[in-house]
Chain A
Amino acid sequence: MLVASSTYTLLDTFVFEQHYGTVSSSVASTESSDDSAAANSTSTTTAVKTYTENSTTIYVADIYLGAGQTIQTALASNTYGKNVTDTTSNIASSVDATVAVNGDYYGARNNGYVIRNGELLRSTKAGDDQEDLVLWEDGTMSIITESNYTAQELLDKGALQVLSFGPGLVIDSNISVTANDEVGQAMTSNPRTAIGYIGDNHYVLVVADGRTSESEGLTLLELAEFMHGLSVQQAYNLDGGGSSTMYSDGKVVNNPTTNGSVITQRSVSDILYVK
């Protein structure tokens, strides 16, 4: 009986898909589509650069959003649910993304706000100290604490995307983590994914490789310092480890380390992207 119940628990936690509903994979642009001159002047531009710091290869997608454009999110199979997953590249190609990174893997947890493309999907708090990433409809980004807002309040204030992972790395241009702040109890170098807001529709999506002989990985503090060096006003840590993947122009540009050694993509719940 114990073996059977334990097997069921593991299957329910890691395998059985639970679909709660389908969602939109994009936010409607506020730009006028019939004005070609305006459309040209408001197109989003992206460029991926590679850095090496702390014995780690770091990929930075430098993004200038066109007017009326926002960072968007997409869910695996356009479905909100538990254990509904796909690779970052598959989700990205399904929405014609130019650049994409993995999101917060909301499906691995039962709590924490989830708002995607202006749709409230989960309103249960992960905890009073939980810091969430908020991407607003005016193109700005901020980091809030769940104890200060309900998910509905964030939606009413104009939140297009709310991701619940964290912590915030840089808040109001100041590094907001210390050497003792880690996700769960991951106290050492790991692959990382982060998003940073520099200002005036200028964002960076960052992925650091890790767990390989070529690239050690970053601690949260090292990641925060790197983001701070990119002159971001706000920066937020997303799901890392084997999930950390960057997709650009039709291919995966980093070396995701599923199971710690094999270079292959892990299936995830969601992505952040631009197109």
Chain B
Amino acid sequence: MSNSVKKPLYIYIAITITCGLFSFIYEHFSHNVYSNFIVYLFVIPLVLGVVPQLVALIYPKLAVGGSWQKTMHNFAIATLTAGAILQGIVEIYGTSTTFTRYYFEIGVALLALGIAMWIIRLRQAK
């Protein structure tokens, strides 16, 4: 197993578990007021982090992203996760804010940029 795949895989697994624990603890003290952004928080690092690393592990030829691509992808996951936490806190408290939409917009933009960079690298590799 390549270190370039193994290390981020372990990190994303740790982040996924941490998000799950955070959700469990936060919801435990929220008097049964639920927000899907908190309940399903772990899905973000799981789907966008763990799954791609597992795919790269199974198909090593797909692991072609450069450092910039990886940085974009990591920032995207961090931004989306932060946005989901904030939106969940705001929803559980019963208030609202206009700021969290920017987290999702920027997160999706960074994610798209990272994917575009990965596709370009993949084509160059071929």
Point out residues on A near B: beta carbons under 8 Å: 2, 5-6, 8-10, 12-14, 105, 108-111, 183-188, 190, 211, 239, 241, 260
Contact = CB atoms under 8 A, between A and B. Distances in A.
B35 A185 contact: yes
Interface in B1-44: 29, 31-35
B79 A9 contact: no
Given A184-B33, A185-B33, A211-B31, A9 B100 contact: yes
A108 B95 contact: yes
B34 A6 contact: no
B97 A12 contact: yes
Contacts of B97: 9, 12-13, 110
B82 A2 contact: yes
B31 A110 contact: no
A108 B91 CA distance: 11
Interface residues of B, number: 23
B99 interface: yes
B31 A109 contact: no
B115 interface: no
Nearest to B99: A9
A9 B95 contact: no
A8 B86 CA distance: 11
Nearest to B75: A2
B32 A2 contact: no
B86 A10 contact: yes
- Most chain B beta carbons < 10 A, residue from A109, A110, A183, A186: A186
Contacts of B71: none
A9 B86 contact: yes
Interface string B53-78: 00000000000000000000000001
Given A5-B99, A190-B32, 16 more contacts: A2-B78, A2-B79, A6-B82, A6-B85, A9-B99, A10-B86, A13-B90, A108-B95, A108-B96, A109-B95, A111-B96, A183-B94, A184-B91, A184-B92, A186-B32, A239-B94
Contacts of B93: 14, 108
Contacts of B99: 5, 8-9, 12-13
Contacts of A2: 78-79, 82
6 contacts: A9-B97, A108-B94, A108-B95, A110-B96, A241-B94, A260-B31
B89 interface: yes
Contacts of B124: none
A110 B35 CA distance: 19
Nearest to A109: B96
Nearest to A105: B94
B86 A260 contact: no
A265 B100 CA distance: 29
Contacts of A12: 97, 99
B93 to A, nearest CB: 7
B29 A260 contact: yes
